[in-house]
Structure 1
Amino acid sequence: MRIVVTGGAGFIGSCFVREVLGGEHPELAGAQVTVLDAFTYAGRIENLAPVADDPRLTVERGDVRDPRRVAEVLDGGADLLVHFAAETHVDRSITGAADFVTTNVVGTQVLLQAALDAGAGRFVHVSTDEVYGSIASGSWPETHPLEPNSPYSAAKAGSDLLARSYHRTHGLDVVVTRCSNNYGPYQFPEKVVPLFTTRLLDGGTVPLYGDGLNVRDWLHVSDHCRGITLAATTGRAGEVYNIGGGTELTNLDLTRALLAAVGVGEDRIERVADRKGHDRRYSVDWSKIRDELGYAPRVPFEEGLAATVAWYRDHRSWWA
């Protein structure tokens, strides 16, 4: 089996690659893995260092927006294409949306067309719960209308719809996954958990938006990758699967957990003006992937967060 992983040097993509090559997903045992990554600021070759010498790994530099480069990579065939590559940081999308539209929408269309032209197998499109918008109570099923509120989530929603269209129009074997907030090692320090952790380890303060009561569901990156593998190997073509972590916290509660993990007090919190269009609450209903594919998160949040903080403490050279 040959697996092509776009964005395979990023946070979640590199975790998937390391775990596949490390034998943590028996369904994909023995696979040859080709990483296609543009190596922007968040995609780093260091993220693949633990598997760099594995003969089953091939790393290709290229942009998903480049049809010629994508066609070259897929020319060797692909039994499975897992599409992680995306611009993902909401704050960056607010200050400049162009790269989000071209990478997330146009790049996905280029990949879908190239996969169709190359006769590739299953195409797993990795998306986000943010495409649903904001929900005051309850949880979103996969059938909920898409109501994105940031340029980032709007671009991801557009890519989701393109993926669906290639299945319905062309019969391409597409599966879409939508995850809640990820955390874990190797996450670039612009997202809240590594940003706050590294600032606290350096003796600084952490910027908490607004009243701190925005709610997110937290999912360890390893649990997310296991959900993706289940969707890739046993999911139904044309379906969407939400992948949740089962731990809903306000941003204030998350901040307090990080303060405790580092061993400092609330005097390290710096209140800042709220982000534009800040969604109040995300919550996905992941009963579909649980009931159909047997998914359940395995990493308890307290243990996962403690291990994540310890990783950043022990790998200062990676982020300093």
Structure 2
Amino acid sequence: MKLIITGAGGTLGQAVVTAALRRCELPVVASTSEPHLAYVDRLSMQGAGESADRVKLSVVDRFSLLQEGTLSAGDVVIHCAFPKNVTDPSDFAQGMRYHAQLVQAAAKARILKFVNVSSQSVYPRARVHPALETDSVECYDRYSAAKYGGELLTQIGLESGTWINARLASLIGRGLEKRLVTRLIFRAISGGALELDASESRFGLLDVRDAAELLITIALHSTGRDVATVNVGTGNAIDLVTLAQCVRDRVGYRKGSWVEITQTANSVPFTNSTLNCSLLEDVYGVSESRSLEDTIDWIIGAY
């Protein structure tokens, strides 16, 4: 029996491996498209090296998981792997093909549990209330289509009770430079005003380290009650102005650089990425998370 983490070279995957090495007594297999020694070095720099002596870590090429005999009964898979560029038709197709092949290999090996990492993006973008697991699905771009397609491949290919689609809130943290929070932080550190669209959009955010801890909790859950789909987040919501104010205050406190916040006319459609995470708390008993201020401070420390 072992814990297998795909996409282990990505930001979320690395965080999951780090959490697994700290919390899990099982052998940990990190599957990545770039299985080289530098990967282990990065994990050590993140603190995983402190527990590497008590938990065996293997770093393997992602395609090795498709070979017969690699996966076995009793294994648990956390599937973080995802196409690097969903706008590239070839990369998109290759990523979906790998997902289907991995599910097929997992079914053949009769693994214990398959946790498929999905996203809140499968829900309607302009939803009025925090999304529930029972809400309708809308695929409005290739990213959401790929995530929902991955859910369907998982559901169709594996026996009921052996798989879970974990729909993550919008991730924030180090290594996520294209995300809104990091872009606001970088702008504030550079001394530029935080120029906001006067939108009333709402955001549900999740520290990537908390996401990793929650995925480990779901993967190792053994009380006999799992669910097919679960929202993974804090359940909290924040608007753009409050978010910008928090960034401004933390950057000002940490860097001594205080910037203005300005608003322009509303030209961006309303969006809502919030999740109702009551099922997560009910089934898996988790509710604690890092504060937004803690996450912003962590990101600031990288600059």
TM-score by length of 1: 0.77
Distance 1:154 1:97, change over 3 A: farther
Q: Distance in 2 between matches of 1:201 and 1:158?
A: 39
What is aligned with 2:79?
83
What is aligned with 1:182?
171
What is aligned with 1:288?
279
- 1:214 aligned residue (201, 212, 224): 201
Q: Tell me if 1:51 matches 2:51.
A: no
What is aligned with 1:196?
184
Q: Distance in 2 between matches of 1:236 and 1:99?
A: 39
Q: Tell me if 1:308 matches 2:295.
A: yes
Shift of the alpha carbon at 1:215?
1.2
Q: Tell me if 1:32 matches 2:27.
A: yes
Q: Which runs of 5+ in 2 are unaligned?
A: none
- The 5 Å alignment of 1:3-18 reads 3-18=3-18
Q: Distance in 2 between matches of 1:73 and 1:258?
A: 49
What is aligned with 2:96?
105
Percent of matched pairs sharing the same residue:
21
Question: Counterpart amino acid of 2:30?
Answer: V
Q: Distance in 2 between matches of 1:227 and 1:86?
A: 19
- 1:164 aligned residue (155, 162, 166): 155
CA contact 2:214–2:232 (8 Å) conserved in 1: yes
Aligned residue for 1:22, secondary structure, equals helix
Shift of the alpha carbon at 1:172?
7.3
Distance 1:283 1:311, change over 3 A: closer
Aligned residue for 2:231, secondary structure, equals strand
Q: Runs of at least 4 residues of structure 1 off by over 4 A? A: 43-47, 204-208, 235-238, 268-275
Shift of the alpha carbon at 1:79?
1.2
Q: Distance in 2 between matches of 1:59 and 1:259?
A: 40
Aligned residue for 1:31, secondary structure, equals coil
CA contact 1:87–1:103 (8 Å) conserved in 2: yes
CA contact 2:122–2:138 (8 Å) conserved in 1: yes
Q: Tell me if 1:231 matches 2:218.
A: yes
Question: Counterpart amino acid of 1:51?
Answer: A
Shift of the alpha carbon at 1:297?
2.9
- Between Structure 1 and Structure 2, how many residues are aligned? 289
